[in-house]
Structure 1
Amino acid sequence: MRPSTTVINGYNQFSLPKIWGLGKHASADGTKWDLHAQNLMSEYHLRYGGYGGIGYYLVSDMYIALFSRFTTCGSWEGHNILDYLVENDSDVRPDTIHADTQGQSAAIFGLAHLLGIQLQPRIRNWKGLNFYRSKPALQYEHIDLLFSKTIDWNLIETMLPEMLRVAVSIGAGRIKPSTILRRLATYSRKSKLYFAFRELGHAVRTSFLLEYLSDVELRRLIQSATNKSERFNQFVQWVAFGGGALAAEGIRDEQRKFIKYNHLVANLLIFHNVVTMSKALEQLAAEGHALDTELIASSSPYQTEHLNRFGRYALNRDRVPEPLDSVREFRMPPHGERITRTAQVAV
C-alpha cells in the first residue's frame, strides 16, 4: 500500500472530517511551481508570470488531497482530472468532481459520463459555449435562443461500442484517462472516436449548464469546493518552505518526486492537525462545553500557526505514539446541534 494511501485511509477513520464533507465530492486545481528557465519542463506561464510547471491536485471535500500530478504550463489541466480513478486506491472514492474552466472540455464531459463521474466545473465565459438541442425541431419556451446546435445521436450510437471499450479499459487500470484524452485530441481531425466523445460531452454539458444556471445552491457548492482546492494550493506551497516555491531539480523524475513527496508531507500535516483538533474537541466536550457543528464546519485542517518549519528537531525514535482510538471514535454532534460529552453518553 502506498504511504499516501495509508495516510488517507487513516484520516478517513476520523469523525471530524465528516463534518466538512463525506468524501463523495472532490475538486481539482493546478498551481504554478517555479523552475529554472533552462529546463526542458519549464515553460513561461502567461497568467502567473515566470517560468515553471503546474502541480495539479485533486482535493476531497474532507480537505485531504487524493491525487497529484506535475505537468507543463501549456498543457490542458483537464486531461489529468480523471486519472485519480487509476492512481487513487484509497477508501475515499469521490464520484462528483469540481474544477475551474481548465478542468473541462466536451470530450472530458463525455468520458466522465461513461465512467460514472459527474463533472461539475466552474466555467468562465459559459455564454460562449453552444447549447445543443436533442432534436432539430425541438423548441424551448423562454430559453430557445440559447440553443444553436443539435446533437448527432447517430454518431454516438455508431461509436458507442468503441467508447465503452475505452471506459472498460480505464476501469480495469490498463490505460489512464489522460493518455486516451491526449491521444484523441492529437488526432482529433481524423478520429471519429474523439468526435463521438465530444458529441456525448455536448449533451452532458448542456444538461449541466442548464442546471448550473437555474440552481443557486449548485453554484454555491461548486464555489465552496473550488475554494478548498485553492486553499490547499496555498497550504502545499507553504509546506515546501525554504525554496520560495522553486523546484530546483532539472530532471523530470526528480521534479515528479518533489511534487509527490510535498503532497505526502502536506497530507501528513493535515492528518496531524485533525488529530490535534479532535483531541481539543474531545477535551472541551469532557469539560462540559457545548460543541457547535456550525462553527466546526467553518474550520479547516490547513492550520499553520502552531507548526515549526524552522529550527532544530529532536527525533526520539524510541517514543511510542499514543493511541488514537478515543479521538478517532469520538462522534461529532449532528449538523446544527449543540451537545456536550455528557449528553452524548446519555444518548
Structure 2
Amino acid sequence: AEAGTLPDAAIQGGTLSITPVKDETPDAATAMSRLAYGQLPQIKIPDLLTEVNAWTGFAECFTHYRSGKPATDQKALFAAVLADGVNLSVSRMAAATHNLSARQIAWAHDWNLREETYSDALACLIDMQRELPLAKLWGDGVTSSSDGQFFRAGGRGEASADINAKYGRTPGLKFYTHISDQFSPFHSTVITATESEAPFVLDGLLRHQSGVAIEEHHVDTGGATDHVFALCYLLGFRFAPRLRNFKDRKLYLLPGMKPPAIMTPFIGGTIKAGHIVDNWPEILRLATSIKAGTTTASAILKSLSAYPRQNGLAIALRELGRLERTLFSLEWMRSLELRKRTSASLARGEARNALARGVFFNQLGEMRDRSYEHQIHKASGLNFLVAAIILWNTKYLEASITDLRKNGVAIPNEITKHIAPLGWAHVGLTGDYLWNMNPPLSSDRLRPLRKHEIQDAA
C-alpha cells in the first residue's frame, strides 16, 4: 500500500478505494454460445427427464418410505417430481398428464419423494455432470458459491411467510442454493425471508450427497459473519465473501502488534486471544460435532446468536473469526485474482437463479404451501429439475461444439469456457406432459443436432 502497487486498489488519506471487477466475457463467447445453442434439439421436459434417467438411473434413488425399494410406477414418479419442479399441484399435473390420475401421482409423491431421496437423486446428476470434459473447462469443481432466491408467497402460504423490506411488502421465503464452479447446484434448502443466510452456508458444504469436494466458497454480504469465518477455517474451507462497504470494515490485530501508519485508520481493535485459548477445547469439540453430523452448523450458529449475552464459546468463535476475516481482507486488497474469482463464482449463482425462475413458473411463481415439508419438496424439486437441464445442456453442448469444430468453426477453449449450460429456450416446459418411458437413447447415443444452423452460420 505504501508503494502504491496494490492491484486496482489504493489507500490515500486514510481511505481505501478498490476498482470494481469488470465482466471479462469475450464478445466472441456470446456469438459462439448462440451458435452452439442453435444446434441443440428442441425437447419437452418429460423427454428430458426420461433421457437423463437413462444416463444416470436417478429413479432408483427415489425409494419407498417403508420398503426401501425403488418406485414401480416411474411415470407417476416423474410426474410428481415435475409437479414439484414447475410449482404445479398434483391435481393440475394429473390434468396435464395423459393416463395418470391424481391419486397415482399423489401416491408416488407421498411415499417416494423426501428430502433425502431428492438429495440422493441430485447426487447422481451432479456426479455425472462434473465428469464431462466440458464441465472441467468451467472449473476444477473445488470452488462454489451460495445465494438465496426470493419467492413470493400466495394463497394459503401467505399466512406463514415473512416480509423482508429488501423485497418490498410482499411476504415470501428464500430458496438457498449452493452451486459449484462447474455449474452443479449440489444443495438447496428453504429459509424464511427475514432469516440470515450465514448459518446455512456450511450446511450446504457439509450435508450434500454428491462427490463434489469444495475447498473455497463464496457468498455475498448476507452470508458472511465472523462466526462463519471461524467455522470455515476449522472445517477446512477457505471462505471468500464479497463484502458490501468493504472499505469501512475494520481489521483486528494480535496482542502486541503495531500497524504501519498507512493502515492505522482501518484498525478496529485487538483480538482477545485469551478467549480463544481458554475455549479452544470447546471450539474443537464444536467443530468435530458439526463435521461428524451430530449437529448442523445452522442450528449451532442460530443458538449462539440467540443468547441474551454471548457466552465464552460465542466470544471465542467471534475472535477467531475476526482473525480469519482480517487475513482474508488483507488478501482481498492485494489479490486481483481473488476478487475476479469471487465475482465470477457469484455470477454463476445469479445466472442459475434466472434459470430457476424460468422453470418455477406455475401459480405465478408463488409459494402457496404452508408447511415446511411441502416447501422443501418444492425447493428440492426445482433444484433437481434445474440440475437435470444443466446436465442435459452440458452433454449436448459438448456434442454441438465438437460438431461445429468438425465443420470448420474455430471455437478455442478460452471461448468455450464462457458458454454456460443455463439456457432453456429449447426446453418445452408448458403444455401437456406426455411420458415415453422407453427412449431409444443412451449416454453415447444422443438426439440429432439441428444441422441447418451450421449452414446458416457458415
Question: One fold, TM greater than 0.5?
Answer: yes
Residue 140 of structure 2 contacts residue 181 of structure 2 at CA under 8 Å; is this kept in 1? Answer: yes
Matched to 2:306, the amino acid is T
Deviation, structure 1 residue 188:
6.1
Residue 57 of structure 1 contacts residue 68 of structure 1 at CA under 8 Å; is this kept in 2? Answer: yes
Partner of 1:281: 401
**Structure 1, 48-57 or 316-325: larger mean CA deviation:** 316-325
Pick aligned residue for 1:48 from 167, 170, 174: 167
1:196-220 deviations in Å (ceiling 9; x for gaps): 1100000000111111122222111
Partner of 1:184: 304
Deviation, structure 1 residue 51:
1.0
Partner of 2:192: 72
CA distance in 2, matches of 1:164, 1:137: 26
Partner of 1:27: 145
1:92-129 deviations in Å (ceiling 9; x for gaps): 12111101001100111111110011110000012332
CA distance in 1, matches of 2:308, 2:420: 43
1:110 matched to 2:230: yes
CA distance in 2, matches of 1:187, 1:324: 57
Residue 57 of structure 1 contacts residue 69 of structure 1 at CA under 8 Å; is this kept in 2? Answer: yes
CA distance in 2, matches of 1:322, 1:37: 42
1:246 matched to 2:246: no
Matched to 2:193, the amino acid is C
Partner of 2:258: 138
CA distance in 2, matches of 1:16, 1:310: 29
User: Normalization by structure 2: what TM-score?
Assistant: 0.68
SS in structure 2 of the partner of residue 94 of structure 1: coil
CA distance in 1, matches of 2:391, 2:312: 46
Larger Cα-atom Rg: 2
CA distance in 2, matches of 1:283, 1:109: 46
Pick aligned residue for 1:63 from 164, 172, 183: 183
Query: Cα RMSD (Å) of the superposition?
Result: 1.9
1:120 matched to 2:120: no
1:77-102 deviations in Å (ceiling 9; x for gaps): 01100002332121112111101001
Deviating beyond 3 angstroms after TM superposition, the runs of 4 or more aligned structure 1 residues are 37-41, 285-291
Residue 141 of structure 2 contacts residue 214 of structure 2 at CA under 8 Å; is this kept in 1? Answer: yes
Pick aligned residue for 1:9 from 127, 142, 146: 127
Partner of 1:336: none
Residue 35 of structure 1 contacts residue 248 of structure 1 at CA under 8 Å; is this kept in 2? Answer: yes
CA distance in 2, matches of 1:31, 1:314: 30
Residue 163 of structure 2 contacts residue 172 of structure 2 at CA under 8 Å; is this kept in 1? Answer: yes
Pick aligned residue for 2:347 from 227, 235, 242: 227
Structure 2 segments unaligned to the other structure (5+ residues)? 1-60, 62-119, 447-458
Bigger helix share:
2
User: Normalization by structure 1: what TM-score?
Assistant: 0.89
* Residues matched between the structures, number: 327
1:145-294 equivalent positions in 2, closer than 5 A: 145-187=265-307, 189-287=309-407, 289-294=409-414
CA distance in 1, matches of 2:211, 2:257: 47
Determine which structure has greater relative contact order: mean sequence separation of CA pairs < 8 Å that are 6+ residues apart, divided by chain length.
Answer: 2
Partner of 1:89: 209
Report the identity percentage. 26
Judged with a 3 Å threshold, the aligned counterparts in structure 2 of structure 1 residues 188 and 92 are, in CA distance, closer, same or farther, namely farther
1:288-332 deviations in Å (ceiling 9; x for gaps): 544311211111000112111122343222223223399xxxxxx
Judged with a 3 Å threshold, the aligned counterparts in structure 2 of structure 1 residues 187 and 324 are, in CA distance, closer, same or farther, namely farther
Partner of 1:306: 426
Residue 188 of structure 1 contacts residue 194 of structure 1 at CA under 8 Å; is this kept in 2? Answer: no
SS in structure 2 of the partner of residue 174 of structure 1: coil
SS in structure 2 of the partner of residue 143 of structure 1: helix
Matched to 2:285, the amino acid is R
CA distance in 2, matches of 1:149, 1:11: 47
Deviation, structure 1 residue 141:
4.3
Partner of 1:296: 416
Structure 1 segments unaligned to the other structure (5+ residues)? 327-347
1:6-36 deviations in Å (ceiling 9; x for gaps): 1101111201011111111101111101113
CA distance in 1, matches of 2:254, 2:352: 39
**Structure 1, 305-314 or 206-215: larger mean CA deviation:** 305-314
1:127-181 deviations in Å (ceiling 9; x for gaps): 3322101124523242122113001111101111111111111111111111111
CA distance in 2, matches of 1:298, 1:148: 41
Judged with a 3 Å threshold, the aligned counterparts in structure 2 of structure 1 residues 290 and 127 are, in CA distance, closer, same or farther, namely closer
**Structure 1, 229-238 or 188-197: larger mean CA deviation:** 188-197
Residue 304 of structure 2 contacts residue 310 of structure 2 at CA under 8 Å; is this kept in 1? Answer: no
